[in-house]
Structure 1
C-alpha cells in the first residue's frame, strides 16, 4: 500500500512540477534504492541526465509520469484531477 501511494505522489509531482521535475527524478532514484528496485534505479539515471535538459527547454512529453515502468518519451493522458488543477492555474496541457 505504501509503495503504491508513494508512486502515485511521485507521478503527480512530475506532472504538476515540470520545472522542478529533475529534483523529483532524483527523489525517485533515491526511493528506488530504498526499495531495492534495480529497474527503477537504472531507469531514473538517464531521466536525470536527459530530463533536466528537456525540462529546461520545455520538451517534456505531456502526461508522462516519469517512472522506469514507462517509456521516457511517450505522452500519456492526464487524469481529470490533475487537469482540474492545471485549469484552475490557467495552464493548457493539451
Structure 2
C-alpha cells in the first residue's frame, strides 16, 4: 500500500515536470516525463488516460501525426481496457506496441 501511495505521488510529480517542460517547448524531455507518468499510472484508469492525454498534447504541439493518431487510440483503449489488463513498463508512446510489456526504467523501479 505504501508503494502505491509513493507511485501516485510520483505520477503527479512526473506529470508536473512534463507540463513545465511543455511550456518551455522542450517537447522531447516533456514527453519522457509523460512516459514516466504513464508507467507509474497505467494501473489506474484516470491516471492512465491522463498520461495519454498529455502525450496527445505533445503530438499536437509537434504536429506528429503518428503520435496524434496513436494517442487517440490509446486514450480510448485506456478507458476500456485498464480495469482488466495493462502491459507492465510500457511507456505509452505511439512508437511502441500498445500491448508490449517492457522492463521498468531504472529510475522507476523503486515505485513497484
What is the TM-score normalised by the length of structure 1?
Answer: 0.82
Which residue is 2:5 aligned to? none
Question: Could you report, residue by residue, the CA deviation over 1:25-61 in whole angstroms, capped at 9, with x for unpaired residues?
Answer: 112112211111111001111101112222223x010
SS of the residue corresponding to residue 56 of structure 1 reads: coil
Structure having the higher helix fraction is: 2
| Residues matched between the structures, number | 85
Distance 1:27 1:43 in 2: 13
Structure 1 runs not aligned, ≥5 long:
87-94
1:54 paired with 2:78, answer no
Structure 2 runs not aligned, ≥5 long:
1-24
Which residue is 1:2 aligned to? 26
Which residue is 1:34 aligned to? 61
Distance 2:59 2:36 in 1: 17
Stretches (4+) displaced over 4 A: none
Distance 2:94 2:100 in 1: 12
SS of the residue corresponding to residue 35 of structure 2 reads: helix
Q: CA RMSD in A?
A: 1.4
